[in-house]
Amino acid sequence: DGDADVDDGDADVNDDDDGGGGDDDGGVPAPPRAAAAKYTEKANALGPPEELPPRPSHQMVPIPGGVFTMGTDDPGVPQDGEGPARKVHVKAFHMDKYEVSNTEFQRFVRATNHVTEAERFGDSFVFEGLLSEKVKSSITQAVAEAPWWLPVKGASWRHPEGPDSNITNRMDHPVLHISWNNAVSYCTWAGKRLPTEAEWEYACRGGLDNRLFPWGNKLLPKDQHYMNIWQGHFPYHNTAEDGYDSTAPVTAYPPNGYGLHNMVGNAWEWTADWWNIHHTVDEVENPTGVPTGKDKVKKGGSYMCHKSYCYRYRCAARSQNTPDSSASNLGFRCVADQLPDRVK
């Protein structure tokens, strides 16, 4: 599938105010200018992968239990089942501070000899704009509704843009081309699990209620970039004004109120729930979604999201893929009811 759905919604360009009024409505205060650059400089200063210090894979932050407004009555993509807004109680848990990185996934693979579904299938979906001319020239089929998605032979977490690419200088970026099944395998190995959609959205909001983004309602608070999304005219030109034309390091950009980085933008993140677009308006506790289905819910959007195509870099936004799907903008992070006893 590879997130090949199309949203022909609002054709506005990304602007500074995405419906949040004149100020940031009590959101997370804006950091100093060039905040994204400061955070990413620190990440990039780690050097080549062999010099990366080992980071405990249980680096998690506590998320306090509470009640929040899940979903929205003002959906950005109505067909996605973002509404209605409803009160949801969530018990306390811990969540990975960052998306799972290539370094962490490599540690898992070395320990378990895990083979991803993209590797087993022999191909995965890649955004056309990131491919070399050599790879592009060998592909004859595309996704009809989204021709920028191409099935690339040899694309996998080790080779995100196909066999002539690598992750040597991206070990601190989110691991990509990971199916839901692969993500579950990693979480289980690490003594963790995937978040429910409710847990994910509650954590994404960072203690704020009824806001578009994890920091408030403004896309660019004080003209600062808080996330990695498409800048420019999708899918033809990405100006990379946020610092990246593809993924960013998992440590990039300021954290939300709970200390979580890149909850929106950068890479889509799998959740535990089966996809369903019909939700009760009743107040519920610790929902886990419908008991079965065809697709799994993913949240957060990615570096490919733009308001004209995929306005899903909002807390309430959601999308879906089959559990064996993988793509060059799809990753994950884990949660745990209690901190794992051991560090992998």
pLDDT digits (tens, 9 = 90+) for 64-116: 999 999 999 999 999 999 999 999 999 999 999 999 999 999 999 999 999 99
Sequence spans of domains, the chain: 35-115+172-336
Distance CA 218, CA 34 (A): 17
pLDDT attached to residue 206: 98
Average of pLDDT values for 223-246? 96
28 pLDDT above the threshold of 70 = no
Give the mean pLDDT of 15-39. 40
Q: How far is CA 94 from the centre of its chain?
A: 18
In this predicted structure, the answer to whether residue 341 has a pLDDT above a threshold of 90 is no
* Residue 318 scores a pLDDT above 50: yes
Least confident of 43-57, 71-85, 221-235, 318-332: 43-57
pLDDT for 278-295, tens place per residue?
Answer: 999 999 999 999 999 999
Q: The domain at 35-115+172-336 falls in which architecture?
A: Alpha-Beta Complex (3.90)
Range in 51-55, 68-72, 135-139, 169-173 with the lowest mean pLDDT: 51-55
**The residue type at 341:** D
Q: How confident is the model at residue 337 (pLDDT cuts 50, 70, 90)?
A: very high
- Residue 251 in this model has a pLDDT that exceeds 50: yes
Percentage of the chain beyond pLDDT 70 is 82
**Segment 208-234 mean pLDDT:** 97
Query: For residues 174 and 263, what is the distance between their CA atoms, to the nearest angstrom?
Result: 12
- Average confidence (pLDDT) over 7-19: 37
What does the pLDDT average to over 249-263? 98
pLDDT at 285: 98
Give me the pLDDT at residue 139, please: 86
Given a cut of 50, whether residue 240 has pLDDT beyond it is yes
Is 223's pLDDT higher than 60?
A: yes
Instruction: Name the pLDDT band for 17 (thresholds 50, 70, 90).
Output: very low
